Amino acid sequence: MPNERARGIITPRTLRGFNDLLPDEALLRGVLLRRIEDTFGSFGFQPISTPALEYVEILKGKGGEEPDAGLFEFRDQGGRQVALRYDLTVPLARYVAEHEGVLSFPFKAASIGLVWRGDRPQRGRYRELIQCDADVIGAVGPVVDAEILQLVHTTLDRLGVGEILIRVNDRRLLDAFFSRLGVLDRRLETLRSIDKLEKIGSGGVEAELQAGGLEDKQVAAILEFLSIGELPTTQARFEAVQEIVRGHGSGDEALEGLREVFDLLDAAEVPPSRLSFDPSIARGLAYYTGMVYETALRDAPEIGSVSSGGRYDDLAGLYTTTRLPGVGGSIGISRLVGALGVGGIGGALREIPPFVLVAHPRSERLTALAVRTATAVRRELGARVELYPMPRPHKKQMRYAALRHAAVVLTVDEDHTVRIKDMASGDAVSAPPGEVVDLVRGYLLNQAGE
Amino acid sequence: MPNERARGIITPRTLRGFNDLLPDEALLRGVLLRRIEDTFGSFGFQPISTPALEYVEILKGKGGEEPDAGLFEFRDQGGRQVALRYDLTVPLARYVAEHEGVLSFPFKAASIGLVWRGDRPQRGRYRELIQCDADVIGAVGPVVDAEILQLVHTTLDRLGVGEILIRVNDRRLLDAFFSRLGVLDRRLETLRSIDKLEKIGSGGVEAELQAGGLEDKQVAAILEFLSIGELPTTQARFEAVQEIVRGHGSGDEALEGLREVFDLLDAAEVPPSRLSFDPSIARGLAYYTGMVYETALRDAPEIGSVSSGGRYDDLAGLYTTTRLPGVGGSIGISRLVGALGVGGIGGALREIPPFVLVAHPRSERLTALAVRTATAVRRELGARVELYPMPRPHKKQMRYAALRHAAVVLTVDEDHTVRIKDMASGDAVSAPPGEVVDLVRGYLLNQAGE
């Protein structure tokens, strides 16, 4: 319906890195988010919610350092320095400190929400994404470490993303190794280089470590340590690492903990093929102090880790003198939606009620009957029922029904009967209004059984 | 666990008008949002998603005028003028213009998301809130007008907010009346004054209209027109308005349309007591051109309208030359959560799976059995099952169970049996692990039946 308005228009566009979701994409994301919420809930995690905007001093912490992610930061109408949150961990830390008195610890928090990242526009990354975090705060030990890993496994399993590999390590093993090697003073830089193993390969890590001033012998030892993850069995890896870290730092304690984690995950029926002890997993973030993990899709390793996290000693030290250790994991729903793509839509559609289209009646006198029919089918059968909103040729309405994957189309006829067309078989019957609900129920059950 | 860190801490706090949700509040909001999503879906509305940040020129339109709501506006790292969206209507307009080629019209959009408003900090209003909008775009007429009102009624009914009153009018009736009165040139100011009737009373409206330069006779006629809504029956109101608008502008067409809307809502079984034709409903927004409505909670009229909307001729005229008429409604979830408060929590809890606590075992040797038990009950019964994350006195764990409204508590004993405590009756039995799922199922069914 173009009209002749002469005035110019504003080009409709979104900011780079910010995406609209078309209806099918939004539907898929919605179904996946519910599965995540439900799975988090099924492990006893409680939902919390924090604002999108926070004081900059809260998000940056004392140092006033810009986080790696880049902040959308500005001065609000009241002159306050504010910014959009770039993750859910800092707001969680602020939250537990602020509400310490009314929360009961250990506190199991499920935090799902948008985060915004202003950096690296050149890499085509999302600047607005949804994070799904689960954290156990105020508790440490193999039982909670194992629970986070079990939760991640169960969640990804329910999302139907195919085979996954969760690679687990403990920061204390790397520390024990660094201590033995005499590079503990370069701990964080070394961890960050190791963290890039997947991206830049062992040659890249070698070059970075050498550039960082490590001796050739140290670099060689590190590369050898990293290659332990290639040994065929978990048992062999544990033994190789034990050999190296024994007697250094908390290495023995960490190894014993990891062994218990693997035993508990076995009790939780996590398939051993989806779990691997990998001493090369480091994670870039400074606050991890124990177990750390990453998760790859076997069929799409190139999209990177779809879930990662670990254990920390002191979540909220910037905001409270209470020491709150804990462990958490995060699931990257935006990456998963991208990875599942159109293939994921079918599975999502199966999870929502069937769609029934009531055609727009041919005469106005029949509209009330059409509304009554739509209302009854919607209420009695819990179906999604749409009364086509305006008069259009029947053929056009049938095309729309196909587009929306309608299970059944209902048409009110001049003689006040209702034609019921089963879109799966193509069968059609006419019936008085009072019999429509039962007939539609039959078709829907039939289609669900197929 | 206070420690002795000497360094200062950052006071944990949120920005004024921005709120954290504690777990029970977040749970309630989550349940309500799902009911809204499901109800929108049950009428065939399709979810869409747009970004939180948009170009300022998109949000402000051509005039560069600040919307009433106040914008959180800033320059991003790339120098672009951007702002947080202040409603979902402008982004929807931009969205349908941008994706015109791939959407099929009429398009029924369900748009649920956060919006941000920077103004009026003094009034203690939310500056971050969730809006839930449903729009039928590319269709006009009584059938779609009635559908939006039926949707609003069904949604609020499913939310369990108690008795509501949806007051409906048509802008064209006011226009016809203004035309007869000779004040059509002051249409928008007059509408805005009328829109304040609820807030400032008829005396206040009278004073505003007089200050605006209307003649006493005109003001008196307007006040009389507004009082038509006090007539006892819908029929009487229709007749009184017909008397006044007959032969002026589109008054007759609008009245005929509204009569059909009321007939269709009757066919849709919306109780007549929840619906009222009220010629004083104006809505402040300039873009409405036909049916308009507002909704009050009978038991809490003071919180204002919990759902409002109406019909517009041209949704996206700023962004496309295609004329897209439509009709939409918006549900204010933040106000509803506030109104339902703690009373709403019980209903929300009934909608989520029962909570089962597995006590932390007394000895480490029993942990695997506890994990196995928790996993089986979670998987087989769909319950929310939490393994208490760390060793604590049993009494303390039982207090936590009560706090979380646990239905059942499971304790693994030294003899490898599991004690099952029914929290409703206080009964407890011990059973071998293999029988736990069936016994717990019995208790849960029993409690659900009560």
pLDDT digits (tens, 9 = 90+) for A161-174: 889 999 999 999 99
Which tens digits make up the pLDDT trace of A408-419?
A: 999 999 999 999
Check: CB of residue B142 under 8 Å from CB of residue B311. no
Give the one of A82, A116, A369 whose C-beta lies nearest to B15's C-beta: A82
Give the one of B48, B104, B119 whose C-beta lies nearest to A403's C-beta: B104
Q: What is the pLDDT of residue B398?
A: 96
Mutation to test the A interface, candidates B1, B270, B342, B366, most A Cβ within 10 Å: B1
* Average pLDDT along chain B: 90
Query: What average pLDDT does this structure show over B104-109?
Result: 94
Question: What is the percent of chain A with per-residue pLDDT over 70, rounded to a whole number?
Answer: 93
Cβ-defined contact of A42 to B385 (cutoff 8 Å): yes
Q: What is the pLDDT of residue A42?
A: 97
For residue B67, the chain A residues in CB contact (below 8 A) are none
- Global confidence as pTM: 0.93
Decide if B15 touches A, using CB distance below 8 A. yes
Q: What is the pLDDT of residue A184?
A: 87
Cβ-defined contact of B9 to A98 (cutoff 8 Å): no
Report the amino acid identity of residue B405.
H
Cβ-defined contact of B352 to A78 (cutoff 8 Å): no
* Closest of B134, B168, B136 to residue B274, by C-alpha: B168
* B90 min Cα distance to partner chain A (Å): 11
Q: Of A254-258, B61-65, B355-359, B367-371, which range is least confident?
A: B61-65
For residue B55, the chain A residues in CB contact (below 8 A) are 13, 15
Query: What average pLDDT does this structure show over B269-291?
Result: 90
What number of other Cβ atoms are within 10 A of residue A212's Cβ? 14
pLDDT band per the 50, 70, 90 thresholds, residue A343 = low
For residue A27, the chain B residues in CB contact (below 8 A) are 46-47
Distance CA B326, CA B316 (A): 10
For CA atoms A129, A130, A134, A138, the dihedral sign is positive
Report the amino acid identity of residue A191.
L
For residue B316, the chain A residues in CB contact (below 8 A) are 12
Mutation to test the A interface, candidates B320, B358, B387, B396, most A Cβ within 10 Å: B387
Which tens digits make up the pLDDT trace of B135-151?
A: 999 998 999 999 999 99
Nearest CA in chain B to A72: B76
* B205 min Cα distance to partner chain A (Å): 31
Decide if A404 touches B, using CB distance below 8 A. yes
Q: Which of residues 200-259 of A touch B (CB under 8 A)?
A: none
Distance CA A117, CA B210 (A): 52
Nearest CA in chain B to A366: B264
Q: Domains in chain A, ordered, with CATH? A: 23-346 (3.30.930.10), 354-449 (3.40.50.800)
Decide if B19 touches A, using CB distance below 8 A. yes
Cβ-defined contact of B14 to A404 (cutoff 8 Å): no
For residue B140, the chain A residues in CB contact (below 8 A) are 390
Cβ-defined contact of A44 to B118 (cutoff 8 Å): no
Whether residue B54 has pLDDT greater than 50: yes
Nearest CA in chain A to B76: A72
pLDDT band per the 50, 70, 90 thresholds, residue A4 = very low
Which tens digits make up the pLDDT trace of A203-227?
A: 999 999 999 889 999 999 999 999 9
Decide if A10 touches B, using CB distance below 8 A. yes
* A429 min Cα distance to partner chain B (Å): 23
Q: What is the pLDDT of residue B4?
A: 40
Cβ-defined contact of A3 to B389 (cutoff 8 Å): no
β-pairing, B408-412 vs B355-358, is parallel
DSSP string, A78-94: TS-EEEE-S-SHHHHHH
**Higher per-residue confidence, A300 vs B435:** B435
Q: What is the pLDDT of residue B352?
A: 86
Which tens digits make up the pLDDT trace of A181-193?
A: 999 888 888 888 8
For CA atoms A174, A175, A180, A182, the dihedral sign is positive
Whether residue B41 has pLDDT greater than 50: yes
Burial of B165 (0-12, 13-18, 19+ CB in 10 A): middle
Nearest CA in chain B to A30: B47
Distance CA A73, CA A120 (A): 16
Mutation to test the B interface, candidates A68, A378, A380, most B Cβ within 10 Å: A378
Which tens digits make up the pLDDT trace of A349-376?
A: 677 899 999 999 999 999 999 999 999 9
Q: Is the preceding peptide bond at B272 cis, omega within 30 degrees of 0?
A: no
**Higher per-residue confidence, B202 vs A54:** A54
Query: What average pLDDT does this structure show over A290-299?
Result: 94
Q: Of A428-437, B13-22, B61-70, B234-243, which range is least confident?
A: B61-70
HSE-CB for B73 with a 13 A CA cutoff: 15
Query: What average pLDDT does this structure show over B321-332?
Result: 94
Which tens digits make up the pLDDT trace of A303-337?
A: 889 999 999 999 999 999 999 999 999 998 888 87
* Contacts of range A139-142, beta carbons closer than 8 Å, 24 or more positions apart: A139/A105, A139/A106, A139/A325, A139/A326, A139/A327, A139/B389, A139/B390, A140/A290, A140/A311, A140/A325, A140/A326, A140/A327, A140/B390, A141/A257, A141/B389, A141/B390, A142/A257, A142/A258, A142/A260, A142/A261, A142/A264
* Closest of B392, B23, B3, B22 to residue A324, by C-alpha: B3
Decide if B369 touches A, using CB distance below 8 A. yes
Decide if B9 touches A, using CB distance below 8 A. yes
Cβ-defined contact of A389 to B144 (cutoff 8 Å): yes
Q: What is the pLDDT of residue A290?
A: 95
pLDDT band per the 50, 70, 90 thresholds, residue A63 = low
Cβ-defined contact of A12 to B94 (cutoff 8 Å): yes
Decide if B333 touches A, using CB distance below 8 A. no
Decide if A412 touches B, using CB distance below 8 A. no
* B24 min Cα distance to partner chain A (Å): 8
For residue A22, the chain B residues in CB contact (below 8 A) are 48, 99, 102-103
Phi/psi for B76 (5° steps) reads: -85, 180
* Average pLDDT along chain A: 90
Distance CA A33, CA B86 (A): 24
Q: Of A182-196, B116-130, B228-242, B302-316, which range is least confident?
A: B116-130
Whether residue B5 has pLDDT greater than 50: no
